[in-house]
Amino acid sequence: MTQQGQVPPFAVIPGAQVHQVLSGQEKRTVELVEAAYRLHGEGATVNPPSYFLRFPDRPSSRIIALPASLGGESPVDGLKWISSFPENVSAGIPRASAVLILNDHATGYPLACLESSIVSAARTAASAALAADRLTRERERPRRVGFIGTGLIARHIHTYLAATGWEFDEIGVHDLSAESAEGFRDYLERSGTAGRVAVHERAEDLVRGSDLIVLATVAPSPHLTEPAWFDHHPVVLNVSLRDLAPEVLLDAVNVLDDVEHCLKADTSPHLTEQLTGNRDFVDGTLYDVLTGALRVPAGRTVVFSPFGLGVLDLAVGRHVLDEVRRGGGLNVVEGFFHEVDRYGRVAAAGS
């Protein structure tokens, strides 16, 4: 085999192709995410801490690197590089943008660069839908859902809940931006949801009126501070991680995706650890729930806090790459790697 033959081809997969693969495949994506969680719980992954690039002149903005390695039958390594620039919203463009680099497990060579805002939203929504299902099996299935924060992630989570069999009598909506709240309501009505949609001016009203609560904001610090609002013991998908005060978590069953990842960067669980000086409030991980090691009681508030694992992006991204290749639509960049012989013989022959 020539050196050129040993080096895998490099492809670029734009957002349109990512969307084509994942749209309508929500159940399959949830399965991929569950499998990745199980591999992670079994120790078949490498998922180091995320790295934050921050800017002194733009304190609200950041770019995050999530390196990871996913084992199993089809191992893959890679990196998600995702930016969060909140000021984009006022300019009419999404807050977040991302790419995902997949690396060949055998050679380390990059295989593909995928537009990853869709991958990231899909894996986040799939994680939320999986948690919602598994955390409500010991209680009456919620019929009232409330969304605090109404951006791309909220829309994807609703899509994934609907696609995995959830039906709601009432859908509550709350956002600090009235325009965003109305836009989300319009999306819900266009999606054909059968439930009554209500926009709440106060977060308290939404919380008290919801049995399943989705937090998908850009809040930098807790604003849901009253444990009494949760006296009806809802299930809370704490996707944005910083909305809940420690007092709320201390009165709840706390399930994390990964303990070490969640207890950092001033997330609500991290603030709770700082307040108490211990981790006794953490009841377990989603892997514990999946394997039956943790049973979630019906008579308490349950909070699922997912920091977001890079291995989930790898699982979904690898699936997208495989499906695009299988469909014959892979955009390979010919000659992307110029020197593929250790001694430069191939390059010299071609010069």
CATH class of the structural domain 130-305: alpha beta
Q: pTM score > 0.85 for this model?
A: yes
Alpha carbon separation from 95 to 90, 152, 221, 244, 279 (Å, rounded): 9, 9, 18, 22, 32
Residue 347, pLDDT score:
52
User: DSSP characters for 295-318?
Assistant: ---TTSEEEEE----HHHHHHHHH
Residue 18, pLDDT score:
98
pLDDT, tens digit (0-9, with 9 covering 90-100), for 116-171: 999 999 999 999 999 999 999 999 999 999 999 998 899 999 999 999 999 999 99
**H or E element that contains 153:** helix 152-163
Residue 1, pLDDT score:
36
Tokens of 136: 């409500």
Determine the 3-state secondary structure of 271 from DSSP: helix
Q: Where are the domains of the chain?
A: 3-119+310-350, 130-305
Do the Cβ atoms of 254 and 281 come closer than 8 Å? yes
pLDDT band of residue 7 (cuts 50, 70, 90) is confident
Asked whether the predicted pLDDT for residue 351 surpasses 60, the reply is: no
Q: What is the mean pLDDT of residues 273-280?
A: 98
Report the amino acid identity of residue 322.
D
**The 252-256 sheet, strands edge to edge:** 196-199, 170-174, 144-148, 212-215, 235-237, 301-305, 252-256, 282-285
Flag the least confident range among 19-23, 94-98, 106-110, 282-286.
94-98
Asked whether the predicted pLDDT for residue 346 surpasses 80, the reply is: no
Q: What is the mean pLDDT of residues 327-338?
A: 93
Tokens of 83: 């930016």
Question: Given CA atoms 100, 102, 103, 105 in this order, what sign does their dihedral have?
Answer: positive
Question: Which residues have a Cβ under 8 Å from the Cβ of 15 and sit 6 or more positions away?
Answer: 115, 117, 118
pLDDT band of residue 55 (cuts 50, 70, 90) is very high
Asked whether the predicted pLDDT for residue 286 surpasses 90, the reply is: yes
Which CATH architecture fits 3-119+310-350?
2-Layer Sandwich (3.30)
Question: Which residues have a Cβ under 8 Å from the Cβ of 162 and sit 6 or more positions away?
Answer: 191, 193
